[in-house]
Structure 1
Amino acid sequence: MTHPLRLPAFRLLFCARTSSALGDAVVPAALALAVLRATGSTGALALVLACAMVPRLLLLPLGGVVADRFDARRVAVVTDLVRCAAQLVVGVELLGAGPSLAHVAVASAIGGAASAFAIPTASPLVAGTVDADGRQRANALMSTTSNASRLAGPALAGLLIWAAGPGWAFVLDALSFAVSALLLSVIRVRHVPVPKRSILADLTYGWREVRARDWYWTSLVGHGVWNGAAAVLMTLGPAVAVDRLGGEAVWVLTLQGGAIGLLAGSLLAARVRPRRPVLVANLGLAMYAAPLLLLAVAAPAPAVIGAYCLALTALGFLNPVWETVVQGQFPPQVLARVSSYDWLLSLGAMPVGYAVAPVAAQAWGAAAPLTGAAVLVALACAGTAAVPGVRRLTWPATPAPQPATPVTAAG
């Protein structure tokens, strides 16, 4: 089997995504500090974050339709250029003497809208450049570089902010998208034409493909609950760590342990191929209940850090395995749409967790929502083992999968 990095098209794709991933990893810390420096208001920061998140959620299904209907490579190039321009606007604003919050918010909204069209292209791009027998390793490589960027991003952001200010972090991100667009523009990607239908018919067809596979939609429910629980932990975890576990350093070490776990899980996914991939991966996600429960009872810091590292290792393992299974089980002409529904449910669950966690903690204390989230994530992820499709699903056969619903030109 040829290593994916020996394939010219995938090698360029890998370099493109590495560039944009590193730029993206720098932005969160830079954005928070920049907005707080400019306004001194956490409300202003929340507004800017919402401006990026809301368009992304609203447009994700449409992004899946566009990526399936048109060449995913072309869509990715256009969205990279749009995001390059948006980040450059933010960078120039922050480099000026008096940055405008309105300009930053609008640029963030445009970038968020572009990302809704960019996210569904990820899976078709890998499937279109790597044959089935090399996709697990290819997906693991993509996940590894993404997780390594998350690990290095905050340190690089801190260095840039200390040396030149947060505006240059956004200029770097803009440059990373420009490099990504340039590399993607010369790649040749296999594309299966989609019959011409209305947008509503395309959305409905993609949803039927999702519903036709019990292993897929039940796993999406589990993954959505996981993301909601992660939002609860990220909201309440810092306060528990600071007040009861030893201070800010404990929370920093917890996050770094999680980043190391993500990277380790991605590396593991390149070498381990369980016979029942979705079942094993979903059971691994259920381990996220452990750090939630340990935070709820204010367990010793080493136990919390270790549990969080293991839980994120399971996530790092799931991501490339899940992508490989999905790429093999769904026909290529519907891949972006089903991926967009996956992202929609996952991203949509996080604001729910962010909203519920502080309200519940104020009413009953932090232990209650943390424990509740632990129970929900354990039941939702481990509960998929009761689904026949999850238990029976093995690695895809070599022949291309067929649509679960007939492909017609009519809506």
Structure 2
Amino acid sequence: MISDFRLLAAGQTLSWIGNGFQTVALAFAIVRADGGAGDLGIVMACSFTALLACSLFGGVWADRLQPQRVMVVSDLIRLLASAAMALMFAGGGYHLPLLCALVAVSSGAGSFFNPAMTALRPLLVPADRLQSANATLSILQTGSSVAGPALGGLTVAAFGAPAGFAVNAVSFLASMAACLLLRARATRGPRAPMLHELRAGWREISSRDWLIGGLFGATVYHVANGVILVLVQVIAIKRLGGASAAGFIAAAEGLGGVIGAAVALRFKPRRLLRAGWLTLMLMPLWAFAYVWPATLVAVLAGAVIGWAGLIFFDVAWETAIQDQIPQTALGRVASWDTLTSFLAMPIGNALAGPLSARYGVNPVLTVCAAILLASAVSQLLIPGARTLTRTTGTAPAHTPAEILDSTPA
């Protein structure tokens, strides 16, 4: 019998690949319609604003209802939005207000899906396989983030932007089907007013030093990383070889992510969160490689090493939250986690230009790399981050195939 986890993994892999198709199709469609960078920026801003506005509410509803019910509704809304975009561009029309509305609706629905998925995962596998399950999904997501845009680019080039939107709509249908077949059920208590439930979710965070410290540390980290992500693209294009160099670097980052997730499948220390913060200290190597020695080979090596550390940390962080937070509050905690990240990253993106214009690209990159390091190191000063141990203990390593074959907990 097909397990719940296998269904989730299959549905999400198709959905992640489909998102890559839409990313390419959206940019292509706007540019071909003479919308230019200005229109693309407006559309992206609408997407971000909707995500920001809906994130915390998505966490509340993930804890109120069965998670898969929230996921199905989210997928249905995103399917309809993607199909509407395909129809709009297939008909030869380009209406910026309508496109902004559709993108905002899709992004807002997505902000409900992710907390629900976080709340669902611990119900799908035995507790001692949770880290391996998270690592398996990270491998699939990282691979999809490379395969999706590549396949999307070929499809859009051959058949046009509407085909990219249509593929994404079909991928949401596949995710919906998988969610509808999930058998796991979460325990849900009586509902309280929305603000009360939001405050209760925050109390789960503020009562744990490792969690609230990690969120504040991640906020600082994401501001610096937001600056870095803008500047390294400029360096890749201007100094390291142009578009081909940027492509090689993206591939190296994907390879590093797969390596980091694969290590997380096998390496299961009892103090997993401490190991995660230690591996996150590898990310500054990637950023600093653009400054010195500033060669493509060095940047590629830094990308593999740094992103391996980042993805291992992501697995450790998600596993710690799922292991330590009551299942009835997981969605809200996940939504607060998402909110801090999405608040910080655009701030860094916006600061990249003014800071580099005033102080120069290399000095700004150097300082931001130091901030990444300090953000990770500072967490080891927090007692909970150093000493947190798995409540379920450690377990033998499992391969992705073994996890996909696991039965529901």
Shift of 1:307: 0.6
Q: 1:30 aligns with which of 25, 43, 66?
A: 25
Match of 2:36 among 26, 38, 41: 41
Q: Note the C-alpha offset of 1:102.
A: 1.8
Letter in 1 for 2:255: I
Q: Which residue of 2 aligns with 1:391?
A: 386
The structure 2 residue matched to 1:254, chosen from 242, 249, 256, is 249
Shift of the alpha carbon at 1:7?
A: 6.1
Q: 1:177 aligns with which of 164, 172, 177?
A: 172
Corresponding residue number in structure 2 for 1:403: none
Q: Contact (CA 8 Å) 1:360, 1:368: kept in 2 or not?
A: no
Q: 1:407 is matched with which residue?
A: none
CA distance in 1, matches of 2:113, 2:62: 8
Aligned equivalents of 2:65, 2:34: Cα separation in 1:
42
The one of 129, 135, 142 equivalent to 2:130 is 135
Q: Distance in 1 between matches of 2:181 and 2:2?
A: 14
Matches within 5 A, 1:93-112: 93-112=88-107
* DSSP-derived class of the 2:11 partner: helix
How far apart are the structure 1 equivalents of 2:348 and 2:131?
31
Count how many residue pairs are aligned between Structure 1 and Structure 2: 393
Deviation, structure 1 residue 249: 2.0
Q: Find out whether 1:117 has 2:112 as its counterpart.
A: yes
Q: What residue in structure 1 maps to residue 121 of structure 2?
A: 126
Corresponding position of 1:53: 48
C-alpha contact 2:227 2:348 (8 A) present in aligned 1: yes
Assess, with a 3 A threshold, how the Cα gap between structure 1 residues 359 and 194 changes in structure 2: closer, same or farther: farther
- Distance (Å, rounded) in 2 between the aligned partners of 1:260 and 1:168: 28
Q: Normalization by structure 1: what TM-score?
A: 0.92
Mapped contact 1:129–1:190 kept (Cα < 8 A) = no
The whole-number CA distance in structure 2 between the counterparts of 1:263 and 1:26 is: 21
Normalized against structure 2, the TM-score is what? 0.92
1:74 aligns with 2:78: no
Name stretches of at least 5 consecutive residues in structure 1 with no aligned partner. 1-5, 399-411
Q: Does 1:289 align with 2:294?
A: no
Task: Give how far 1:292 is off.
Answer: 1.8
Equivalence map 1:309-320=2 (5 Å):
309-320=304-315
Give 1:138's aligned amino acid. Answer: A
What amino acid sits opposite 1:238 in the alignment?
Q
Code of the aligned partner of 2:249: T
Root mean square deviation of aligned Cα:
1.5
Provide the C-alpha distance between the structure 2 equivalents of 1:251 and 1:325, rounded to a whole number of angstroms: 34
Question: What does 1:5-404 align with in structure 2 at a 5 Å threshold?
Answer: 8-297=3-292, 299-397=294-392
Deviation (angstroms), 1:318: 1.9
Paired residues of 1:244 and 1:298 also in contact (CA < 8 A): no
SS at match of 2:33: helix
Superposed structure 1 runs of 4+ greater than 3 Å apart: none
Offset, 1:327: 1.0
Q: Name which of structure 1's ranges 93-102 and 352-361 shifts more when overlaid on structure 2.
A: 93-102
Uncovered stretches (5+) of structure 2, i.e. residues with no partner: 394-409
Q: Distance in 1 between matches of 2:28 and 2:305?
A: 30
More relative contact order, 1 or 2 (CA 8 Å, 6+ apart): 2
Q: Secondary structure at the match of 1:270?
A: helix
1:236 positional shift: 1.1
- On the 8 A contact 1:47/1:105 being kept in 2, the answer is yes
Instruction: State the SS of the aligned residue for 2:268.
Output: coil
**Counterparts of 1:29 and 1:285, CA distance in 2:** 30
**Contact residue 222 and residue 377 of structure 1 kept, 8 A:** no
Q: Percent identity?
A: 33
